[in-house]
Amino acid sequence: MPSIIQMNSEFSSLAEHAYVQIKQKIFNFEMMPGDLISEVNLAKLVSVSRTPLRQALQQLQHGGFIKAIPKIGWQVAPLDFDKLDELYDFRILIELNAIMALCNSRRDNPILAELQATWLRPKSKRSFDTVDVGILDEQFHASLVKASGNEEMLKTHAEITERIKIVRRLDFTKNNRINDTYDEHGQIIKAIIAGRGAEAQRLLKAHIEQSKIEVRKITLSMLQEAKKTAYR
């Protein structure tokens, strides 16, 4: 007979499994902002019972990915552009601090060498896969913060990245934004390596501010097209 500790461990594992699976379906546009969620259907979809599922849903609610609707159930959180603006502004503050710390330290950091290899490349060598570029973009911004050596900033930055992930992925459904991102990331890296901290900060802020503008352009048709792509 399994012990209480074993049962609790298994329960937590199932809840974590459900949490990861549901969040990924939101990021992949299989579950859209504003969609109502049935616990019965979700339990079948992620293959867990209702009890660990509810724990996962509460965790998702805490993270801002879904919301509880009294007497109805759950809903994928609608896009809140004002909240997204606040998250982008917070992200700017963290990354500006990280860039200055990088420029004031050794610039032969191996993380910078990896970023050069990924982003300083001709158009013929660039990836235009939406998912791949979305992941590379997240890694770029996280790597800047990681290279600064501030673990608490990195933790907070990761939380913000999770909150804005769905709109960041939508941004890369446009090829011009992919090319712009490669160019802008490359300019930022060059400025950091040259020790031009103020220039690197200016370039980074303009880069993220442009992302904020693009987020405001998200339409219902873009969301629906992303959903169609998810099922191809």
The domain spanning residue 200 has which CATH number?
Answer: 1.20.120.530
| pLDDT confidence of residue 224 | 66
| pLDDT confidence of residue 170 | 77
pLDDT in tens, 93-127: 999 999 998 888 766 788 889 999 999 999 999 99
Domain range spanning residue 50? 4-76
Please give the Cα distance from 118 to 116 (Å, whole number).
5
Reply yes or no on whether the pLDDT at 8 is more than 60.
no
Please give the Cα distance from 198 to 183 (Å, whole number).
18
Are the CB atoms for 91 and 165 separated by under 8 Å? no
Written as six digits, the tokens of 39 are 């616990």
Residue 74, Ramachandran bin (φ over 0: left; ψ between -120 and 50: alpha; else beta): beta
Question: Any bridge partners for residue 69, and if so which?
Answer: 73
| pLDDT confidence of residue 6 | 45
Domain boundary among 12, 47, 76: 76
Please give the Cα distance from 95 to 109 (Å, whole number).
17
Q: Do 189 and 108 belong to one domain?
A: yes
Model confidence at 50, in pLDDT bands (50, 70, 90)?
A: confident
Percentage with pLDDT > 70 across the chain: 88
Domain boundary among 76, 91, 111: 76
- Read off the CATH number of the domain in which 29 is found: 1.10.10.10
